[in-house]
Structure 1
Amino acid sequence: MKRLLTTAAALAAAASGAHAGGVERSSQSVAILFEEGRYAELSFGHFSPDVSGSVGGGLATSGDMAPSYTSWSLGYKMDVGDKMDFALIVDQPIGANIDYPAGTFYPLTGSTAELTSTALTALMRYQMAGNVSVYGGLRYETVKGDVALTGGYTLTTNNDRELGYVVGVAWEKPEIAARVALTYNSAITHSLEAVEASPFGLVETTFDTEVPQSVNLEFQTGIAADTLLFGSIRWVDWSVFEIAPPVYLSAGFGPLVAYPKDRITYNLGIGRRFNDTWSGAFLLGYEPSDGELTGNLGPTDGFSSIGLAATYAVDGVKITGGVRYVDIGDATTNIVGGSFTDNSGVGFGVKVGYNF
């Protein structure tokens, strides 16, 4: 059962490229804090979406404007005495890749955008009486963006670096493999230095972008011999997130990227240990649509997903492979009235963990 305890987190990492609200690429899980002894892990995820839309009732189609992308994360955990644990996590919390194929009659033909980030999170956990523990730490995050739109507008920002924090509390009951962890991730405001170019010239500008606060509830419990029920509920304050460079904003188009409402993402799964070396998991995911207009640089609205994973464990090494199919929610865009329907994506991934 001990080996099975990591299956839930492993599946999430193995399909880490799966679609989620806003520009999310990482669920910011703290599961690594609960590994036994000294532990290290490395994860790679690849997500291949197929997102296309049209205007004028299908008179002009966009083509697939969402390229495939790969994400990665690594982590290290160690005990610090009998009551404390330390973990270090490197991941990519947010990101976006947009590429409208050139040569179509869609209004944004040839437009591209890329948002990249890296975060280093250091966490300490203290185990108190009654199977309760508290944890917290700092997150050091970098963000950079590049945009090139049809019509001659471009944006390039610096790689801005800022600090945030993490706090949380957990309860465990080891005899039934139960654990509940509630984690708060603070907002991080980036003051971006940018170069904006348009047909009217080139301007150096500055603007703020807030990577939003979030709350994670992660849980698991044994429900039968060698069988684990697990899941998570994640709220992200996406309504505060926007990319609004001054020159673009002054043209009357509104922000480049903005989300009208916050998002709540649900995951629920069952893990099963088959023998001493093999275990597997089945996972469902859901993020409700809000029915609001979306920007053309993120024309999706909610999702449903289904995933499978298998873990092989031997001599302290755990190797997990996973796949996840995502039914991407339909969306209507706010600039050209584009209609994006019947879209989907497939995520693949692998995670290697080692206890030593």
Structure 2
Amino acid sequence: MRKKNFGLGAMTAATLLAATSAQAGGLERGGYNIDLLFDPSDYVIDSSVTYVNPQRKLNNVRDTESADGIDTGRPSNGIRATEGYWVPRIGFKAGLGEAVDCMFDYSQPWGAHLNQGRNWVGANENIETKIKSNNYATTCSYSFDMGPGQFRIIGGAFYQELSGFQDRLAADVPSFLGTGVGHLEMKGDGWGWRAGVAYEIEEYALRTSLVYNSAVNLKDITGTLDLTQVPDFIKPGYTGMTHSVYGSTSMPDSLELKFQTGVAPGWLVFGSVKWTDWSQLQSLPFCATATKGAVSCVTKDASNPVSGELTSIDLLYRDGWTISGGAGHKFNEQWSGAASLTWDRGVSTGIGTHTDTWTLGAGVAYTPTENIELRLSGALGLLTSGSSREIVKDGRAYGQRASYDFDNDLVSAISTSLKVKF
């Protein structure tokens, strides 16, 4: 039987603060989390759900694609761009002998939901975009004595599914000719892996870990581009029909360093630094399946003037950095708490609304018995101000359909979880 430590150090104060990690840069929702692997119990089931409510609003919206005339009579200020969302996670951890631990978990690491609706000046840029993901992972570690503590070697693999859609106003036409809305539907899947190391000294509640998560190559994204609501005379041979499309991209790799240590009886400090390779998500072209093998599916720009691209999702992200720090305290045998401050560097490079985010989080854990732990955490964050404008990259214009500004906005989140140990 393993030694069990149900104090604050075993709990890891950062696990109280799930609400702070669900509003990060790029398309991140739940991200990757393997904290359950370090629980000292033989068997553990951990489930959580987080609700995040970003309040991003757009102002001074201008239709910069003058030929479409969309700006006539449409609102241009106070446009709610974001929707609230849920982030579920469930995991099971088992200790296999004295040295091996394995965890199996389901999560939704990536996602997005922009829903400005049709009745705004920038409807030609976006009506609604929604992306969701499913991630199924197995992660194991092998521990052995080293100095006063234990060293772990960590490895694992995960299977990931990604799906979504985008609606935008392709043409502003009278209702008897159709809605004028183009609809892109897509889905893809791929595999990834992780590797890392950790070092723990139980006596001091000390743990430091470094974990790398690989990119997930979604090389066979398939879908449809439905333009049946756009009259065929708008662009003969393109509008008025449905196209089978394909594309490819990779979800980003990441590297995260975490640290925690006891500093006084019942007190713990912790922190983390994470790098995410969001810059590999630039423009995602979608091309006609009928041209596959004949014409390359690349972004059509000055360096690639010949392409089968029919449409694209333009992100133009830069790498993301997330830095977090905080402290936890064990009040008594049943109650513990923690608080943290997190900074997430914005990944937008001129288009979009992903600017820097600052988040304050707090959480409590209630342990009525040594086998059950209930956690509740909340977060309040600041989405910093900025603007989205047309930019030119590699000889191609992006964000050219609409421009807008946005002020400092708030994001709030609440998370609850249940852990059962046996």
**TM-score normalised by length of structure 2:** 0.78
Whole-angstrom distance in 2 between the partners of 1:253 and 1:207: 11
Which aligned pairs between 1:64-213 and structure 2 lie closer than 5 A? Answer: 64-108=80-124, 111-130=127-146, 131-151=150-170, 152-158=181-187, 160-190=188-218, 191-198=220-227, 199=230, 200=239, 201-213=241-253
Of residues 31-40 and 102-111 in structure 1, the stretch that sits farther from structure 2 once superposed is 102-111
User: Is 1:267 matched up with 2:324?
Assistant: yes
Whole-angstrom distance in 2 between the partners of 1:119 and 1:27: 10
Question: In the alignment, is the contact (CA less than 8 A) between 2:21 and 2:29 conserved in 1?
Answer: yes
* Aligned partner of residue 53 in structure 1, secondary structure: strand
Question: In the alignment, is the contact (CA less than 8 A) between 2:13 and 2:337 conserved in 1?
Answer: no
Paired residue for 2:54? 49
User: CA-to-partner distance for each residue in 1:50-81, whole Å, 9 max, x for gaps?
Assistant: 11112358x82251110111110011111111
User: CA-to-partner distance for each residue in 1:267-286, whole Å, 9 max, x for gaps?
Assistant: 11100000000011111000
* Aligned partner of residue 128 in structure 1, secondary structure: strand
Once the 2 structures are TM-superposed, how far is the Cα of residue 254 of structure 1 from its aligned partner? 8.1
The code of the aligned residue for 1:282 comes to A
Q: 1:263 to 1:110 in 2, by over 3 A?
A: closer
The code of the aligned residue for 1:349 comes to S
Paired residue for 1:236? 276
Which aligned pairs between 1:322-337 and structure 2 lie closer than 5 A? Answer: 322-334=377-389, 335=399, 336-337=402-403
Once the 2 structures are TM-superposed, how far is the Cα of residue 232 of structure 1 from its aligned partner? 1.3
User: CA-to-partner distance for each residue in 1:326-346, whole Å, 9 max, x for gaps?
Assistant: 101223224222112221110
User: Is 1:307 matched up with 2:361?
Assistant: yes
* Aligned partner of residue 32 in structure 1, secondary structure: helix
Question: In the alignment, is the contact (CA less than 8 A) between 1:78 and 1:86 conserved in 2?
Answer: yes
**TM-score normalised by length of structure 1:** 0.92
* Aligned partner of residue 338 in structure 1, secondary structure: strand
Paired residue for 1:246? 287
Question: In the alignment, is the contact (CA less than 8 A) between 1:41 and 1:351 conserved in 2?
Answer: yes
The code of the aligned residue for 1:132 comes to F
From 10, 18, 24, the equivalent of 2:22 is 18
User: CA-to-partner distance for each residue in 1:305-341, whole Å, 9 max, x for gaps?
Assistant: 1011010012211111011001012232242221122
Question: In the alignment, is the contact (CA less than 8 A) between 2:26 and 2:317 conserved in 1?
Answer: no
* Aligned-residue RMSD, C-alpha: 2.3
Q: 1:244 to 1:12 in 2, by over 3 A?
A: farther
Question: In the alignment, is the contact (CA less than 8 A) between 2:44 and 2:93 conserved in 1?
Answer: yes
From 343, 348, 352, the equivalent of 2:409 is 343
User: CA-to-partner distance for each residue in 1:147-180, whole Å, 9 max, x for gaps?
Assistant: 111222211013x221110101001111110000
Task: From the CA coordinates, give the structure whose radius of gyration is larger.
Answer: 2
User: CA-to-partner distance for each residue in 1:109-165, whole Å, 9 max, x for gaps?
Assistant: 87001101010110110002311110101111111011111222211013x221110
Q: 1:56 to 1:193 in 2, by over 3 A?
A: closer
Q: 1:124 to 1:101 in 2, by over 3 A?
A: same
Whole-angstrom distance in 1 between the partners of 2:245 and 2:125: 26
* Aligned partner of residue 12 in structure 1, secondary structure: helix
Q: 1:294 to 1:12 in 2, by over 3 A?
A: farther
Aligned length: 351
Question: In the alignment, is the contact (CA less than 8 A) between 2:25 and 2:347 conserved in 1?
Answer: no
Q: For structure 1, which runs of at least 5 residues remain unmatched after alignment?
A: none
From 330, 336, 340, the equivalent of 1:279 is 336
Q: 1:290 to 1:146 in 2, by over 3 A?
A: closer
* Aligned partner of residue 79 in structure 2, secondary structure: coil
Whole-angstrom distance in 1 between the partners of 2:34 and 2:96: 17
Question: In the alignment, is the contact (CA less than 8 A) between 2:20 and 2:361 conserved in 1?
Answer: no
Once the 2 structures are TM-superposed, how far is the Cα of residue 18 of structure 1 from its aligned partner? 3.3
Question: In the alignment, is the contact (CA less than 8 A) between 2:367 and 2:373 conserved in 1?
Answer: yes
From 32, 36, 40, the equivalent of 2:45 is 40
Whole-angstrom distance in 2 between the partners of 1:90 and 1:97: 21
Whole-angstrom distance in 1 between the partners of 2:380 and 2:417: 18
Q: 1:349 to 1:286 in 2, by over 3 A?
A: same
Q: 1:202 to 1:23 in 2, by over 3 A?
A: same
Q: For structure 2, which runs of at least 5 residues remain unmatched after alignment?
A: 63-74, 171-180, 231-238, 289-297, 301-307, 390-398
The code of the aligned residue for 1:8 comes to A
* Aligned partner of residue 403 in structure 2, secondary structure: coil
Paired residue for 1:27? 31
Whole-angstrom distance in 1 between the partners of 2:45 and 2:14: 14
The code of the aligned residue for 1:312 comes to Y
The code of the aligned residue for 1:188 comes to V
From 258, 271, 284, the equivalent of 2:315 is 258
Whole-angstrom distance in 2 between the partners of 1:278 and 1:10: 14
* Aligned partner of residue 60 in structure 1, secondary structure: coil
